[in-house]
């Protein structure tokens, strides 16, 4: 079986990919390879950040790998918070991050937004990118208690509830991350 490192220790992300490529690829986490480094993510785009992580693993561990980077882009805020989604307010506190987002949007009628994930794969000396995007709108107030991050204020197009009002199964079926992950899985299974 071909071994591939996923530059994460997030169990949900690992399970999602493993379920897709099970039997063909053996997916290892950062812990599995003994990597406890704080891998730099200093890029201006999701592509750059994801690539930084997969490059790092090749440079320091000589291992083929893939890495993801995601975030929220709000059209009327010039695509903020983007790569700064996790620390928009200057802290990693999501309550503060959501407060800042709602404050900046105010009563703005244009509440169009999207979640975007980019996966960088470095395999057999080749670089590949896979992208997943889901479009929707930012609400005026939080709704729902499921999920994480900006889920309570994001309603995907075609739905009348936020990501935080959906079950994990329902969200994971349509999310930006699921779309990018399925593209990665399709590519890996085609090899
Ligand atoms: P990561 O690159 O997957 O760690 O995502 C970076 C940040 O983007 C997270 O800390 C969240 O603030 C935000 N984000 C990414 N994906 C989601 C999602 O599915 N729901 C809500 N927020 C998300």
Q: Provide the 3-class DSSP secondary structure of residue 112.
A: strand
- What is the position in ligand 1's atom list of the atom closest to the CA of 68? 2
C-beta separation of 122 from 59 below 8 A: no
Q: How far apart are CA 171 and CA 179, in angstroms?
A: 11
Q: Provide the 3-class DSSP secondary structure of residue 187.
A: helix
pLDDT in tens, 77-87: 999 999 999 99
Atom 13 (ligand 1): residue with closest C-alpha? 71
Query: Is residue 146 scored above 90 in pLDDT?
Result: yes
Residues 6+ apart with CB under 8 A from 178: 16, 132, 172
Q: Provide the 3-class DSSP secondary structure of residue 137.
A: strand
Catalytic (active-site) positions: 69
Atom 7 (ligand 1): residue with closest C-alpha? 86
**How many separate domains does the chain show?**
1
- What is the position in ligand 1's atom list of the atom closest to the CA of 92? 10
Query: Is residue 22 scored above 90 in pLDDT?
Result: no
CATH code of the domain covering residue 23: 3.90.950.10
pLDDT of residue 19: 87
**Residues at CB less than 6 angstroms from ligand 1:** 69-72, 85-86, 115, 147-151, 163, 175
pLDDT of residue 182: 94
Atom 14 (ligand 1): residue with closest C-alpha? 71
Pick the closest to residue 183 from 116, 146, 129 (CA basis): 129
Beta pairing partners, 70: 117
Is the whole model's pTM more than 0.85, yes or no? yes
pLDDT band at residue 144 using 50, 70 and 90 as cut-offs: very high
Q: How far apart are CA 55 and CA 66, in angstroms?
A: 9
Q: How far apart are CA 7 and CA 121, in angstroms?
A: 10
pLDDT in tens, 28-85: 999 999 999 999 999 999 999 999 999 999 999 999 999 999 999 999 999 999 999 9
pLDDT in tens, 159-188: 999 999 999 889 989 999 999 999 999 999
Q: What Cα–Cα distance (Å) separates residue 72 from each residue in 5, 13, 105, 114?
A: 25, 18, 14, 6
Pocket test for ligand 1, best of 69, 71, 96 (most atoms within 8 A of CB): 71
Ligand 1 centre distance from Cα of residue 25 (Å)? 26
Q: How far apart are CA 141 and CA 171, in angstroms?
A: 19
- What is the position in ligand 1's atom list of the atom closest to the CA of 49? 2
Residue carrying structure tokens 């987002």: 101
What is the domain range of residue 93? 3-189
């Amino acid at each position: 079986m071909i071994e591939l490192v996923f530059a994460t220790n997030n169990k949900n992300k690992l399970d999602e990919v493993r379920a897709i490529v099970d039997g063909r690829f053996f997916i290892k986490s950062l812990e599995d390879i003994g990597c406890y480094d704080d891998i730099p993510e200093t890029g201006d785009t999701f592509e750059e950040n994801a690539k930084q992580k997969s490059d790092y693993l090749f440079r320091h561990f000589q291992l083929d790998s893939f890495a993801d980077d995601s975030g929220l882009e709000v059209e009327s805020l010039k695509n903020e918070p983007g790569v700064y989604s996790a620390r928009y307010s200057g802290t990693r506190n999501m309550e503060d991050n959501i407060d800042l987002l709602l404050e900046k949007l105010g009563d703005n009628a244009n509440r169009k937004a999207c979640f975007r994930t980019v996966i960088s794969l470095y395999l057999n000396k080749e670089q590949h990118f896979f992208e997943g995007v889901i479009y929707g709108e930012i609400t005026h107030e939080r709704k729902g208690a499921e999920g994480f991050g900006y889920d309570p204020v994001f309603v995907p197009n075609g739905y009348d509830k936020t990501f935080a009002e959906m079950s994990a199964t329902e969200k994971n079926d349509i999310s930006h991350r699921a779309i990018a992950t399925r593209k990665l899985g399709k590519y890996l299974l085609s090899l």
